[in-house]
Amino acid sequence: MARKDVSNKNFESAMEEIEQVVEQIESGELSLEESLAAYEKGVGLVKFCYQKLNEVEKRIEFLVKDKEGKLQLKVLENLPAEDNDDD
């Protein structure tokens, strides 16, 4: 699936399209070539969804305990650098 085909999609519409592709393939009504094309389309959609999930994951905030046991709000993308407190 070409990038331009998914550039204007959101995560939810891509997931719906993946479900449709799976149904088409599982129906057994597609020819081998059509099945391969549908599979390739599905792989492109899955990659798009993983990319979107990774983007969202970087923005997720969650509570973690600091050294004193107090809860602090931290952004996920900052954790790797902050977890390395050996300095």
Question: Mind listing the pLDDT tens digit of every residue in the chain (87 residues)?
Answer: 444 456 678 999 999 999 999 999 999 999 999 999 999 999 999 999 999 998 887 776 566 667 777 777 776 665 544 444 444
Contact (Cβ atoms closer than 8 angstroms) between residue 17 and residue 56: no
Domains of the chain: 3-57 (1.10.287)
Q: Which residues of 38-60 are buried (b: 16+ CB within 10 A; e: fewer)?
A: beebbebbeebbeebeeeeeeee
Whole-model pTM? Answer: 0.63
pLDDT score, position 69: 74
